[in-house]
């Protein structure tokens, strides 16, 4: 037994491991992959934000200086020089990475006799130095940083270019135009303000990018057209583009072009880009100011290698814990199972019915508690069998009394074998199906005299024994009252008064009564809060006897009920029912509804079905609708089809409304 328990424990632990690996493995793999990618994307996004912040400060310096030049158009050369020096000092104090500022004027604007007027201010040996730029050899009017703002009338970032003022090796510049007033409210281009940044300042940001040290990765920067701006291999800078390295590989080329077009951050794998052996994975983000791409390159299989490393560590830890668990469980099981053999034999004897078997003591601990539990179980089981015998006897007695009550209730209702004297003027079919052993629904059918047939259907509030007793009282009173009066309204009024006088239980009955003249089809009825019966015409029409003549019986003692009448034609059918039909529930919580019953009744009447056939079809449809659901209320149906006799004159058409 100890071996089996140890084996099963080991098997269970390995099964848990296998299930954990099967279900949690893909999730853990995906989570680690997402975390590695998120960390790398966060690094490039953070660097892109830092570059954007530097670019934004440069734009602010250039825009502010251009606005000052436009606000003071009459500045002299000396005043322009002072303005430039002040702007350079403030810019450098705010961000030392801004290495120079230049104001370049249109020909003959600052000096009426000089074509070139471009002053470059920069910091040298701790002091602001201003140098004149521009000559026939250095024609700045043809430089991109001057021509493009002039043509586009807006500020631009210029791609890297070699320095011509001696303030750095390679520069990137932001150039913004400024204007002077012209005739007729117009303005004319007066020059450009240029703020210079050294590429090496951006290189330091890429070198500080927080990449995983195990990735052997590096950062690089490209223009929006994939031209390398910064790369560890400086031979690629300003001479090659990322797209040009991929032009021989269609798959990588398409992926690279898609990356350059994307304004969002992301990752792309380029198997043929041999920054690393086996291909390259690039994490990229876009600067918002000039659309450059900040990229981090790592080996294509770096993410997979990291995932496998984490997986191997986790697997080793899990297997070690599992092995220690198996060893510990085996030792514990061997110690615990010795007393169990004795208890097993004793349990078999008790299971065979020998409740007087002595249970041996098994010491302290769980086995001792188990032994005590067996002894308590033995005692409780003996007492339970005695109590069960008494409970079964009491239950059989209650069921016998309920069966007697059900027989008495059924005897109160009219029987159809035979129900009435043979009468060819109608055929009828009733049914009552209680929700419990006995119920509160009721119906009655009998002749008042040779030609008048009395019909009644009712539904007592609630279910069970109380509803059945109230129903029996109402049925008895109704029978007595019907023998004295043949009018439904008088019977209903008297019955309501009697039920309301001693109704301490506050119960009530919805009731419908009617008297059918079997010779001419006149039907006089009274409705006390009951569901509207249906008159199914042989021509396919359907009338709902919807008028109610008062509240349910037993509620208000002083109510005087009225009555209405309708003509029943040859082969027309009366369909009386309780709310157990229309309020039957399906497994989805939907109700059967009055509309569904009406449409089914019209269909059956159009097919000339007999009352018995209609009754069977309706009950079958309700059962199908509420399949697999417990019956929630008593169901009662009373269906009558009227047949006009040959010697009876045809009745007039039904009165309007009722």
Question: 443 with 432: CB under 8 angstroms?
Answer: yes
More confident position, 31 or 140: 140
Instruction: Give pLDDT, residue 314.
Output: 72
Instruction: Give pLDDT, residue 654.
Output: 46
More confident position, 111 or 568: 568
Report in angstroms the alpha-carbon separations of 290 from 52, 59, 157, 495: 8, 11, 6, 94
Instruction: Give pLDDT, residue 182.
Output: 79
pLDDT for residue 655 is more than 50 = no
Question: 525 with 486: CB under 8 angstroms?
Answer: no
Q: What are phi and psi of 553, to 5 degrees?
A: -70, 140
Taking the CA atoms of residue 411, residue 417, residue 421 and residue 422 in that order, the dihedral angle to the nearest 10 degrees is 160
CATH 3.60.40.10 for domain 421-642, yes or no, is yes
**HEC secondary structure over 360-421:** CCCCCHHHHHHHHHHHHHHHHHHHHHHHHHHHHHHHHHHHHHHHHHHHHHHHHCCCCCCCCC
Instruction: Give pLDDT, residue 101.
Output: 92
Q: Tens of pLDDT along 539-587? A: 889 999 989 999 999 999 999 999 999 999 999 999 999 999 999 999 8
**pLDDT tier for residue 77 given thresholds of 50, 70 and 90:** confident
- Distance CA(207)–CA(229), nearest Å, equals 14
Q: Indicate yes or no: pTM above 0.95.
A: no
Instruction: Give pLDDT, residue 361.
Output: 65
For 579, residues 6+ apart whose C-beta sits below 8 A from its C-beta are 459, 510, 531, 633
pLDDT for residue 512 is more than 90 = yes
Instruction: Give pLDDT, residue 498.
Output: 93
- Distance CA(437)–CA(423), nearest Å, equals 34
Please check whether the two domains, 202-304 and 421-642, share a CATH topology.
no
From 86-90, 299-303, 610-614, the region with the lowest mean pLDDT:
299-303
From 174-178, 570-574, 631-635, the region with the lowest mean pLDDT:
631-635
Buried b (16+ CB within 10 A) or exposed e, 462-475: bbebebbbbbbbbb
pLDDT for residue 389 is more than 70 = no
pLDDT for residue 530 is more than 60 = yes
Q: Is 311 exposed, middle or buried (0-12, 13-18, 19+ CB in 10 A)?
A: middle
**pLDDT tier for residue 30 given thresholds of 50, 70 and 90:** confident
Structure token pair of residue 191? 């020059």
Element (H, E) at 207: helix 199-207
Instruction: Give pLDDT, residue 450.
Output: 87
More confident position, 217 or 153: 153
* CA-based torsion, 45, 51, 54, 60: positive or negative: negative
Q: Tens of pLDDT along 400-416? A: 555 555 555 555 566 54
**HEC secondary structure over 449-511:** CCCEEEEEEEEECCCHHHHHHHHHHHHHHHHHHHCCCCCHHHHHHHHHHHHHHCCCCCCCEEE
562 torsion bin: left (phi>0), alpha (psi -120 to 50), beta (else): beta
In the chain, where are the structural domains located? 72-199, 202-304, 341-393, 421-642
Q: Stretch 266-272: mean pLDDT, rounded?
A: 84
**pLDDT tier for residue 658 given thresholds of 50, 70 and 90:** very low
Q: Stretch 104-132: mean pLDDT, rounded?
A: 86
**pLDDT tier for residue 648 given thresholds of 50, 70 and 90:** low
Fold of 341-393: Helicase, Ruva Protein; domain 3 (1.10.8)
Q: Is 104 exposed, middle or buried (0-12, 13-18, 19+ CB in 10 A)?
A: buried
**pLDDT tier for residue 628 given thresholds of 50, 70 and 90:** confident
pLDDT for residue 240 is more than 80 = yes
CATH 3.30.565.10 for domain 202-304, yes or no, is no
pLDDT for residue 33 is more than 60 = yes
Q: Tens of pLDDT along 310-328? A: 677 777 887 787 777 777 7
Highest mean pLDDT among 119-133, 351-365, 440-454: 440-454
Report in angstroms the alpha-carbon separations of 367 from 236, 350, 378, 478, 585: 79, 18, 16, 72, 53
- Distance CA(221)–CA(202), nearest Å, equals 9
Instruction: Give pLDDT, residue 550.
Output: 93
CATH architecture of 72-199: 2-Layer Sandwich (3.30)
Taking the CA atoms of residue 496, residue 498, residue 499 and residue 504 in that order, the dihedral angle to the nearest 10 degrees is 130
């Amino acid at each position: 037994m100890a071996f089996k328990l140890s084996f099963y424990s080991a098997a269970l632990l390995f099964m848990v491991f296998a299930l954990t690996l099967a279900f949690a493995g893909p999730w853990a793999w995906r989570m680690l992959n997402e975390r590695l990618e998120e960390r790398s994307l966060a690094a490039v996004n953070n660097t892109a934000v830092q570059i954007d912040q530097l670019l934004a400060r440069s734009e602010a310096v250039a825009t502010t200086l251009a606005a000052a030049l436009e606000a003071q158009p009459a500045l002299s050369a000396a005043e322009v020089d002072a303005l430039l020096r002040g702007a350079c000092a403030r810019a450098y104090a705010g961000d030392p990475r801004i290495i120079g500022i230049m104001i370049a004027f249109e020909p003959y604007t600052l000096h009426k006799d000089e074509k070139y007027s471009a002053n470059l201010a920069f910091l040298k040996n701790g002091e602001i130095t201003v140098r004149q730029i521009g000559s026939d050899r250095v024609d700045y009017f043809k430089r991109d940083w001057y021509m493009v703002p002039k043509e586009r009338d807006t500020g631009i970032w210029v791609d890297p270019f070699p320095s011509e003022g001696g303030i750095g090796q390679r520069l990137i510049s932001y150039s913004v135009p400024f204007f002077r007033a012209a005739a007729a409210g117009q303005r004319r281009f007066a020059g450009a303000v240029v703020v210079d940044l050294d590429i090496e300042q951006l290189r330091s940001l890429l070198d500080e990018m927080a990449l995983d040290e195990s990735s052997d990765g590096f950062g690089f920067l490209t223009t929006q057209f994939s031209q390398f701006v910064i790369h560890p291999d400086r031979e690629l800078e300003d001479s090659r583009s990322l797209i040009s390295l991929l032009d021989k590989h269609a798959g990588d080329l398409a992926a690279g072009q898609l990356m350059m077009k994307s304004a969002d951050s992301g990752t792309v794998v380029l198997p043929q880009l041999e920054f690393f052996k086996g291909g390259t994975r690039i994490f990229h983000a876009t600067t918002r100011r000039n659309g450059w791409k900040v990229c981090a390159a790592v080996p294509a299989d770096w993410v997979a290698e990291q995932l496998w490393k984490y997986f191997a560590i986790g697997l080793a830890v899990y297997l070690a814990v599992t092995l220690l668990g198996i060893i510990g469980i085996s030792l514990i099981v061997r110690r615990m199972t010795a007393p169990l053999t004795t208890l097993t034999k004793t349990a078999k004897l008790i299971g065979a019915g020998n409740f007087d078997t002595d249970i041996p003591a098994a010491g302290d601990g769980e086995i001792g508690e188990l032994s005590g539990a067996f002894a308590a179980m033995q005692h409780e089981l003996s007492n339970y069998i005695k109590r069960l015998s008494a409970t079964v006897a009491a239950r059989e007695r209650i069921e016998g009394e309920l069966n007697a009550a059900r027989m008495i209730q059924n005897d109160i209702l009219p029987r159809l074998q035979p129900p009435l004297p043979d009468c060819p003027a109608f055929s009828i079919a009733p049914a009552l199906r209680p929700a419990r052993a006995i119920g509160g629904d009721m119906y009655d059918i009998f002749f008042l005299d040779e030609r008048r047939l009395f019909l009644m259907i009712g539904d007592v509030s609630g279910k069970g024994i109380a509803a059945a007793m109230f129903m029996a009282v109402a049925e008895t009173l109704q029978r007595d009252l019907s023998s004295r009066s043949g009018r439904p309204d008088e019977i209903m009024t008297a019955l309501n008064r009697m039920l309301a006088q001693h109704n301490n239980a506050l119960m009530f009955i919805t009731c419908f009564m009617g008297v059918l003249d079997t010779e001419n089809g006149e039907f006089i009825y009274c409705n006390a809060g009951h569901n509207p019966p249906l008159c199914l015409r042989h021509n396919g029409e359907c009338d709902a006897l919807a008028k109610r003549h008062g509240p349910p019986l037993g509620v208000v003692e002083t109510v005087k009920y009225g009555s209405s009448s309708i003509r029943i034609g040859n082969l027309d059918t009366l369909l009386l029912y309780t709310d157990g039909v229309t309020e039957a529930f399906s497994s989805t919580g939907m109700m059967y509804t009055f509309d569904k019953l009406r449409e089914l009744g019209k269909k059956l009447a159009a097919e000339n079905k007999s009352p018995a056939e209609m009754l069977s079809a309706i009950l079958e449809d309700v059962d199908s609708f509420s399949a697999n659901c417990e019956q929630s209320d008593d169901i009662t149906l009373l269906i009558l089809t009227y047949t006009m006799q040959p010697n009876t004159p045809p009745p007039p058409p039904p009165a309007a409304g009722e």
